[in-house]
Amino acid sequence: MDDKTILDVRDLSVTFRMYDEGLEQKETPVICSLNVNVREGEIVAVAGSSGSGKSLLAHAVLGILPTNAKTTGVMRYYDTDLTAGAQAALRGKEIALVPQSVAFLDPLMRAGKQAQGVSGSEQKQREVFSRFSLPPETGRLYPFQLSGG
């Protein structure tokens, strides 16, 4: 078995710049000195209670944290530093997030339109659905009609 490292996260810290009383800015730490290493052939689970930072870790790796977030540490995908440019190039192609809940979808918009994205097309939607073996009629459904499992 090849034990090449796929994802290497070292000393990751995530803080949010927020305002407290009196409109003074403060840094609120939400992830502190986290290390995760995923090698080829491994299955790694990140477990924790609600609000412990599991989704924030995924968002940091993908580079989709809100603008008031700041990260420190090192994140590498294979031998590539996960800079903002690398994250954008890999996002949705080699690295993707499967949300834990269909609550991430707009409940008033059909799933197909959401799979297309802001500047996507019906062709993009068909490709996404095909990749995950979803029948074309899935696009006409609303999130509440989809299984969250």
DSSP alpha helices (H): ranges in 45-104? 54-62, 84-90
Average pLDDT, the chain: 84
In terms of pTM, does the model score above 0.85? no
pLDDT score of 61: 95
Work out the percent of the chain whose per-residue pLDDT is above 90: 36
pLDDT digit string (tens) for 22-58? 788 888 899 999 999 999 989 888 887 777 888 899 9
Separation CA 1–CA 40 (nearest Å): 8
Q: In sequence order, what are the residues at sequence separation of 6 or more whose Cβ sits closer than 8 angstroms to the Cβ of residue 59? A: 65, 97
